[in-house]
């Protein structure tokens, strides 16, 4: 087993996750099997309880684990599904160590950061690597070098490099910032120097430095970084800002990163095939025409809260060949701003994403009614799906007090209610319905035609469901159930007489990939394009 550790310095948000994902992709392009691991140094056991404003979206895996959004990038770049053990958090590590201590596994020894916590980190890393059967594990360490909470993980990686036996069995890639300051736009290397010095003080010498900057850095700057940081100049890789993150694997390949990492790890060179990836990026950049899709969400101020939706539209742009412009609407503002409401008239499609809590639902309900009455193509996801049922019950069935019991526990018309089991309401408290599950689509329905099949599997993250008592009345008025779970839970609602009005309980955004955009986003964009009068271009 070989390892590549990706660390970061100076500031967070430099793109360690995209760098790790891109390295994974260029290994895969060589036929080298890889398994990605994300280390998050927070004390949360997982990302499930985190506020999107603080940490961006919560990504859900097939096994139902709620994880950091970087694992979404790994899946998208690799085109593979991961499991919960690919995300290691401080909470997971300390919980395991404390459980072992309580059981007496340490035989009375004093339990310490070194060797017990670092040993647990190494065990978890090895466990993922060995169980995957991959040749290389790509390990991304969250945070920045120098953070107190990251130190046990960096120490564990230092120890791991010693224990793997051969230097060529582990490589360290360090990402740093090279800012441009002053009137003349001079690139400064001091932040990189200090960051590498901090890393070296912990006993880790990087093998490669990936510099992030506005523009490409010069060969003179590379040589300066090489001299002060003890890294050969050809191992200093310049990564300037890019308009599309999916260009990065191709850029790193052009910079020779793949060949050099293969040399460091002593893996024989193999033919490189990035043809499919290159074709996708070419179609993405060559996309012509434009459709505007409104994204009506309660976390619109932080767009990382809807990262998987954003990427799904990027994948669709590369697949359909039309530019997709997302116009962000704060759901709370939309409910009370008449000018903002008028702006919905200028969009060709609407996405209502998921969320929790009462705030912003009035704005989402307004957007849903607008889409239903004007024929604007709409995709409602999770909460967007549930609110589509509420809006329909209020304004079509004539039940003005219809609601979800999440927002009004005492409503007389609970169109959306807590999950049920064998006909009884189950108060699940802090638990949810999570993970991949089979969904059966109604033959001949719009969604079955979009997917091109009847049986699908999609990922879930919800606590409420459509109340079956209202289904017959929905269908009488033209809102059809066209997808359900094996236990009968409603999964899809659509309006056959509407150009495209689809609500889904699951989260299709989690399964969209660059080379395989999700059918529902493709369907929404094609419907938006048809509404604009531009026809439907070939995929």
| Closest to 383 (Cα-Cα) out of 359, 401, 399, 400 | 359
Pairing of strands 349-352, 378-381: parallel
Is residue 498 part of the annotated active site? The answer reads: no
Helix segments in 105-150, DSSP class H: 118-132
pLDDT score of 422: 44
In a domain, 202, yes or no: no
**Catalytic one of 253, 437, 491, 509:** 509
Helix segments in 217-337, DSSP class H: 219-229, 248-254, 257-264, 275-286, 307-320, 331-334
- Do residue 63 and residue 141 come from a single domain? yes
- Do residue 309 and residue 358 come from a single domain? yes
Are the C-beta atoms of residues 141 and 38 closer than 8 Å to each other?
Answer: no
Q: In whole angstroms, give the CA distance from residue 506 to residue 433.
A: 10
Is residue 509 part of the annotated active site? The answer reads: yes
**Catalytic one of 382, 458, 460, 494:** 382
By residue count, the chain amounts to 539
pLDDT score of 186: 84
- Give 237's contacts (C-beta < 8 A, 6+ positions apart): 208, 209, 210, 211, 252, 255, 257
Q: In whole angstroms, give the CA distance from residue 93 to residue 98.
A: 9
- Do residue 417 and residue 440 come from a single domain? yes
Q: Which of 218, 251, 279 is the last residue of a domain?
A: 279
Q: How many domains does the chain have?
A: 2
Q: What is the distance, to the nearest Å, from the Cα of residue 376 to the centroid of all Cα atoms in its chain?
A: 27
Helix (H, G, I), strand (E, B) or coil at 352: strand
| Closest to 93 (Cα-Cα) out of 60, 122, 127, 117 | 117
In a domain, 21, yes or no: yes
Helix (H, G, I), strand (E, B) or coil at 350: strand
The enclosing domain of 434 has a CATH number of: 3.40.50.880
DSSP characters over 206-240:
-SEEEEEESSPPPHHHHHHHHHHHT--GGGEEEEE
Q: Which of 279, 300, 330 is the last residue of a domain?
A: 279
Alpha-carbon radius of gyration of the chain: 25
pLDDT score of 420: 61
- Do residue 20 and residue 136 come from a single domain? yes
pLDDT score of 168: 83
Q: In whole angstroms, give the CA distance from residue 486 to residue 483.
A: 10
- Do residue 445 and residue 319 come from a single domain? yes
pLDDT score of 13: 78
The enclosing domain of 247 has a CATH number of: 3.40.50.300
Range of the domain at 275: 12-173+243-279
Q: In whole angstroms, give the CA distance from residue 256 to residue 216.
A: 15
pLDDT score of 184: 67
Is residue 373 part of the annotated active site? The answer reads: no
- Do residue 378 and residue 446 come from a single domain? yes
Q: In whole angstroms, give the CA distance from residue 372 to residue 385.
A: 13
- Do residue 118 and residue 81 come from a single domain? yes
Q: In whole angstroms, give the CA distance from residue 513 to residue 510.
A: 9
- Do residue 84 and residue 167 come from a single domain? yes
Are the C-beta atoms of residues 149 and 188 closer than 8 Å to each other?
Answer: no
Q: Tokens for 283, please give them.
A: 């179609």
- Do residue 519 and residue 481 come from a single domain? yes
According to DSSP, the residues that pair with 455 across neighbouring strands are 440
Helix (H, G, I), strand (E, B) or coil at 331: helix
- Do residue 255 and residue 397 come from a single domain? no
Are the C-beta atoms of residues 299 and 53 closer than 8 Å to each other?
Answer: yes
- Do residue 379 and residue 464 come from a single domain? yes
DSSP characters over 400-451:
TT-EETTT-TT-SSEEEEE-EETTEE---TT--EEEEEEEEEPTTSHHHHHH
Q: What are phi and psi of 250, to 5 degrees?
A: -70, -40
- Do residue 252 and residue 327 come from a single domain? no
Q: In whole angstroms, give the CA distance from residue 118 to residue 99.
A: 15
pLDDT score of 428: 43
In a domain, 498, yes or no: yes
pTM score over 0.75: yes
Q: What is the distance, to the nearest Å, from the Cα of residue 184 to the centroid of all Cα atoms in its chain?
A: 38
Q: Which of 255, 279, 303 is the last residue of a domain?
A: 279
According to DSSP, the residues that pair with 433 across neighbouring strands are 462
Helix (H, G, I), strand (E, B) or coil at 178: coil
Residue ranges of the chain whose pLDDT lies below 70: 183-184, 419-431, 534-539
């Amino acid at each position: 087993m070989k390892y590549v550790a990706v660390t970061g310095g100076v500031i967070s948000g430099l793109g360690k996750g995209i760098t790790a994902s891109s390295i994974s992709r260029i290994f895969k392009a060589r036929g080298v099997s890889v398994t990605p691991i994300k280390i998050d140094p927070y004390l949360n056991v997982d990302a499930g309880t985190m506020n999107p404003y603080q940490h961006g979206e919560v990504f859900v895996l097939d096994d139902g684990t709620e994880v950091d959004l970087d694992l979404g990038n790994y899946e998208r770049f690799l085109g593979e599904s991961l499991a919960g053990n690919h995300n290691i958090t401080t909470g997971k590590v300390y919980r395991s160590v404390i459980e072992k201590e309580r059981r007496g596994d340490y035989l009375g020894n004093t339990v310490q950061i070194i060797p017990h916590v670092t040993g647990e980190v190494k065990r978890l890393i090895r466990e993922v690597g060995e169980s995957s059967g991959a040749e290389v594990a790509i390990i991304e360490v969250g945070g920045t070098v120098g953070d107190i909470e990251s130190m046990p993980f960096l120490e564990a990686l230092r120890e791991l490099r010693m224990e793997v036996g051969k230097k060529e069995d582990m490589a360290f890639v360090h990402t740093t910032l090279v800012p441009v300051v002053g009137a003349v736009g001079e690139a400064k290397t001091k932040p990189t120097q200090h960051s590498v010095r901090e890393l070296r003080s912990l006993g880790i010498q990087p093998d490669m430095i990936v510099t992030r900057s506005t523009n490409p850095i010069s060969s003179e700057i590379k040589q300066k970084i090489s001299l002060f940081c003890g890294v050969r100049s050809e191992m200093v890789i310049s990564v300037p800002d890019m308009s599309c993150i999916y260009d990065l694997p191709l850029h790193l390949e052009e910079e020779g990163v793949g060949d050099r990492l293969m040399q460091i790890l002593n893996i024989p060179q193999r033919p490189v095939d990035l043809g499919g990836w290159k074709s996708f990026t070419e179609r993405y950049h060559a996309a012509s025409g434009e459709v505007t899709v409104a994204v009506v969400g309660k976390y619109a101020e932080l767009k990382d809260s809807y990262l998987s939706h954003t990427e799904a539209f990027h994948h669709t742009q590369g697949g359909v060949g039309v530019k997709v412009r997302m116009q962000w609407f704060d759901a709370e503002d939309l409910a009370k701003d008449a000018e903002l409401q008028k702006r919905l008239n200028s969009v060709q499609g609407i996405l209502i994403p998921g969320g929790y809590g009462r705030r912003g639902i009035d704005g989402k309900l307004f957007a849903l009614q607008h889409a239903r009455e004007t024929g604007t193509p709409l995709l409602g996801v999770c909460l967007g799906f549930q609110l589509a049922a509420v809006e329909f019950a209020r304004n079509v069935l004539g039940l003005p007090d219809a609601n979800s019991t999440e927002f009004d526990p005492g409503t007389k018309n609970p169109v959306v209610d807590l999950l049920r089991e064998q006909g009884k309401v189950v108060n699940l408290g802090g638990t949810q319905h999570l993970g991949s599950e089979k969904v059966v689509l109604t033959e001949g329905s719009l969604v079955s035609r979009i997917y091109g099949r009847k049986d699908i599997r999609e990922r879930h993250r919800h606590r409420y469901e459509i109340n079956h008592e209202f289904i017959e009345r929905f269908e009488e008025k033209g809102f059809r159930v066209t997808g359900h779970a094996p236990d009968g839970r409603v999964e899809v609602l659509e309006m056959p007489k509407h150009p495209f009005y689809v609500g889904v309980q699951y989260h299709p955004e989690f399964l969209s990939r660059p080379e395989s955009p999700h059918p529902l986003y493709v369907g929404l964009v094609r419907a938006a394009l048809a509404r604009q009068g531009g026809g439907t271009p070939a995929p």
